Amino acid sequence: MSHWKEPPPVVVLSGTHDYLRGRELREAVAVADEMGRTIEHVQGTDREEISRILSSTGVFFREDVLVVVENPEKIDPELVIRHHESEDNSVVLVLHQEGAIKAKTALGKIAKALPDRFVAKFEKPKPWEEGDHATGFCVDEARKRRLTIAEPLAAAIVQNVGADLGMLAFEMQKLEMLLAAEGETTVTASHVRQTIAAFGELGPRPVVEGLERRDLSGVARALANMRRTHAGNLGGATLRACAFVGSSARNWLHVATLLGEGSGHEIIAERLNLHPFVVRKTLVPVAKRWGQGRLTSLVKSIALVERSVRSGQVSPWVQLECALFRSLQGGASG
């Protein structure tokens, strides 16, 4: 959605990409608040409350409302479709679905009845598409900030920072501030070097480089540097490390799986949309060094640590260190 200032009566936000879907929802709420709308949060199963909100506005006592409907798969479809057909956007229903829309559910019926432009789907890319997806995100994010960035330069940022879109949005924000101070609108290699230099030295990249070599002492040093540098925000540092390590580990696992199936370098390069030289010189040695079994364990461990951060558990950084050290010290290579 690009016009939350004048939204339709019913909007569906769905998909498996938590960051993009969540960001769109936050924008909807922020704009509604700015426009003076009341914000309501209801469950899709609460038909009585939804009916009350829809009937509470009128000609004489008009109150504009944005209603965030969570778990909308069991919402009354007829009620929602009637509201859509009324074209009355004094009440805006935002049906927020975590995950894909199932065709045979009430939400599926609603999505089919709405114009496509009112049904936003935010799906995670395939692991081998993450790099291209993240690069495109950087280009789009720059455009939204009225900046211009060449695609190869955006790809270089992804290579250094990782494919986590939250981190990339933060990098684009830093670039926006730097260019504003210089009165420029075109991002150059010099600007990128200025904004990510410290990240490259004290961020998660050295951790990944140590993991590529299966170098326990190198990983330990890199983690110690990160912990010392980001002591005031270890939760954020943990998420950044998980995003960067997780993205790399999934790529290694994908290569290891294809190797196990007997695929050659050319086929792997085609599947990952990479140059065969990169696959042969960079990814295949790491995949063989680790093996499919260890990489599967590493990917699962990183996912658990990331879940711990997002659920507010204690000491996720320690969990990250333990997970990486365990992965380096043993386990079946598969």
| Rounded (5°) CA angle 157-307-1 | 60
Residues 177 and 222 in one domain: yes
Q: Which of 121, 151, 168 is the last residue of a domain?
A: 121
Residues 92 and 157 in one domain: no
Residues 255 and 228 in one domain: yes
Q: Which of 69, 95, 121 is the last residue of a domain?
A: 121
Residues 297 and 235 in one domain: yes
pLDDT tens, position by position, 41-57:
999 989 889 988 888 75
- Assess if residue 3 is contained within a domain: no
pLDDT of res. 320 = 93
CA distances from 320 to 16, 166, 210, 224, 247 (A): 24, 19, 15, 12, 15
| Domain extent at residue 115 | 10-121
Q: Which of 80, 104, 121 is the last residue of a domain?
A: 121
Nearest to 123 by CA among 12, 26, 18, 254: 18
pLDDT band at 271; cut points 50, 70, 90: confident
- Assess if residue 203 is contained within a domain: yes
DSSP 79-135: HHHHHHHHT-TTEEEEEEEEBPPPTTSHHHHHHHHS-GGGEEE--PPPGGGHHHHHH
- Assess if residue 2 is contained within a domain: no
On the 0-12 / 13-18 / 19+ scale of CB atoms within 10 A, 183 is exposed
Q: Please state the φ and ψ torsions of residue 147, each to the nearest 5 degrees.
A: -115, 160
pLDDT tens, position by position, 285-306:
999 999 999 999 999 999 999 8
- Assess if residue 111 is contained within a domain: yes
* Torsion on CA atoms 306, 220, 226, 151, rounded to nearest 10: -70
Residues 148 and 289 in one domain: yes
Give the whole-number percent of the chain exceeding pLDDT 70. 94
Q: Please tell me the total count of domains within the chain.
A: 2
Residue 108: pLDDT over 90: yes
- 82 or 240: which carries more pLDDT confidence? 82
What is the arithmetic mean of pLDDT over 240-261?
90
Measured distance CA(236)–CA(234) in Å, rounded: 5
Residues 168 and 307 in one domain: yes
Residues 91 and 149 in one domain: no
Residues 113 and 137 in one domain: no
- 126 or 197: which carries more pLDDT confidence? 126
Q: Taking all residues of the chain, what is their mean pLDDT, rounded to a whole number?
A: 87
Q: Residue 99 is part of a domain; what is its CATH number?
A: 3.40.50.300
Residues 60 and 179 in one domain: no
Measured distance CA(158)–CA(146) in Å, rounded: 20
Residues 250 and 322 in one domain: yes
- Assess if residue 260 is contained within a domain: yes
Residues 250 and 177 in one domain: yes
CA atoms within 13 A on the CB side of 107: 27
pLDDT band at 235; cut points 50, 70, 90: confident
Residues 138 and 279 in one domain: yes
CA distances from 35 to 3, 7, 64, 80, 154 (A): 12, 12, 9, 23, 34
Q: Residue 262 is part of a domain; what is its CATH number?
A: 1.20.272.10
Residue 308: pLDDT over 80: yes
Q: Which runs of consecutive H residues, i.e. helices, occur in 149-291?
A: 151-161, 165-182, 189-202, 205-213, 216-229, 234-260, 265-272, 276-278, 284-290
pLDDT tens, position by position, 139-197:
999 999 999 999 999 998 888 777 888 878 888 888 998 899 889 999 999 898 887 75
